[in-house]
Amino acid sequence: MEKVKIRIQKISRILMIICRIARVIMFVSIGVVAVLLIGACFSDEIMQHARNILQQEEFVAGVLSGLRDNKILGKVSLRTIVIVSGLIHILSRLVFVLYLNLFKNLLEYIANGDKPFTVKNAKRIRRISYTMLILIFYTPLIAVTLFFVMLFFSYLFEYGAFLQDEADETNRIQEEMIVSFAEITENKSEQTGKHVKRVAEYSKILAAEMGLDGEQISQIYLASMMHDIGKLLIDAQILEKPGRLTDEEYTEIKKHSGYGGELLKSVEGDVMKLAKTIALEHHERVDGNGYPEGKSGEDISMAGKIVAVADVYDALTSKRSYKEAWEDSRAYDEIVKGSGTQFDAEVVEVFKRAYDKINAVRLQFADEK
């Protein structure tokens, strides 16, 4: 799905370039005709050149043919005909520029990952549709047909805006559910403090530094809050045990990733599905020695790789009942040392570049002592 979205965005950018080139051509054409019209007011020779050029324009030729059929052509001067023809040419080009601008703006929404289906865009299409009636002077059938087609598209966009609002409401409910579950998970063990919040903030920074678009960054930020949801099914005595865990207790703790996947396996919505992926993969390693499934390399999602770094860094720099918080420099070195084995090398490079931002977040949301 993501590859399709990226492909559509690339195509949209190419079409935007074509629209810009076509718009430049239209303005050049308008400029040339405007100069000819000014010249035609003072020179018969220029007026003849202007007439020959304008008659090659299908739209203008159609209008002139209509004037001829109605015996109007012989009743006015040639200069007047040339000027009127030139103004018609300019008007038709301006209508075309309006459509190019509309098309370019819609493509820009898509290329930037924004939502083109809005009430504002629907009204814009509706307003521009009325300009098609300009063509009614020489092609009534085409003019009326295009007018109703554009009008239909305007209402289609308005309906799309309604559906988008419904989808946004669904996303809002998902977000509220995620935040609620994150708070429940965090409250299960009093020693986790603001761990969920910090991991989400670190993940957002890493995702942004990797060049992901705004929607992907927002989804990773929200979904990462549920990375430890499986701990709801872990005995609180193990989670809060002072001192080191036994091998059996550590094995039980490791099950929280699988539990998280089970809890979220039937969820609907993009963010919740991503939350399931992160819950399952945030303890996987790129060398295949992680858990619960022993995934490696490209089999691990980018979101899983990002949250893996964020989660471990915060675990290292946080105080737990069985350990003191590490110095941030020591935790930094540990993340860097794990590049290409425990962690994805690309994510680690991004972590290094964005470390000042990450450390600032660590201090901002530090646990109360």
Q: Residue 295: CA atoms inside 13 Å, Cβ hemisphere, count?
A: 22
146 exposure class (CB count in 10 Å sphere: 0-12, 13-18, 19+): middle
Per-residue exposure over 311-341, b if at least 16 CB sit within 10 Å of its own CB, e if not: bbbbbbbbebeeeeebebeebbebbeebbee
| φ/ψ of residue 134, rounded to 5 | -60, -35
Cβ atoms of residues 264 and 229 within 8 Å = yes
241 is catalytic: no
70 exposure class (CB count in 10 Å sphere: 0-12, 13-18, 19+): exposed
Strand, helix or coil for residue 315 = helix
Give me the sign of the Cα torsion angle 296, 300, 302, 307. Answer: negative
Helix runs in the chain, H state only: 2-40, 44-55, 58-69, 78-111, 119-129, 140-188, 195-209, 214-224, 236-239, 247-254, 256-263, 270-281, 302-316, 328-337, 345-353, 355-364
Which two tokens mark 191?
């020693």
| φ/ψ of residue 131, rounded to 5 | -70, -20
* Catalytic residue selected from 104, 204, 231, 295: 231
Rounded to 10 deg, the angle between the 355-364 and 328-337 helix axes is 140
- Residues designated as active site: 231
